[in-house]
Amino acid sequence: MKPLRSIFIVDDDPIHQQITEIMLDRLRVTNDVKKFSDAQDVLDHIRLHIAEPASLPDIILLDLNMPVMDGWEFLEAFSAVRGTLPKPVKVYVLTSSIDERDRQRVGMFDFVEGYLTKPLTNDIILSLAR
């Protein structure tokens, strides 16, 4: 299994960020994790580095419920820029929400690779690396 180059964790909960990073590291899925507490910061990073594929993530793990810019607003904004990116970026929603309406709403974004619920398991993390 080849390690992924870069994963962005977008979650306003620092404990969840840390746990996810530790799990990714332990399973040797990636050695390049960037953590963001605000989805706007991720969008700004992507726009700033749009011509630099090496600075863009391979995967974004996105929480839905965050202050400032939430996951929904990020998905809307990302849908407008993703077609201009020099490489594919996989987006997985990673949430504590078990509301079926959230799952259905996420399904409206055809570029979202999956709807994952917290906490992540080793099996789910390993499946991201495939």
- The C-alpha R_g of the chain, in whole angstroms, comes to 14
pLDDT in tens, 70-129: 999 999 999 999 999 999 999 999 998 888 999 999 999 999 999 998 888 999 988 887
Helix/strand/coil for 61: strand
pLDDT in tens, 9-57: 999 999 999 999 999 989 888 889 999 999 999 999 999 999 999 999 9
Helix/strand/coil for 20: helix
CATH number for 12: 3.40.50.2300
Tell me whether residue 49 is in a domain: yes
Residue listed under structure tokens 């594919």 = 88
Tell me whether residue 113 is in a domain: yes
Amino acid identity, residue 129?
A
Q: Which domain holds residue 119?
A: 7-128
Tell me whether residue 2 is in a domain: no
Tell me whether residue 116 is in a domain: yes
Number of domains in the chain: 1
Query: Using an 8 Å Cβ cutoff, are 94 and 63 in contact?
Result: yes
CB neighbours of residue 94 within 10 Å: 24
Tell me whether residue 1 is in a domain: no
Tell me whether residue 13 is in a domain: yes
- pLDDT above 90 for 60: yes
Helix/strand/coil for 8: strand
Q: Is the pTM of this model over 0.85?
A: yes
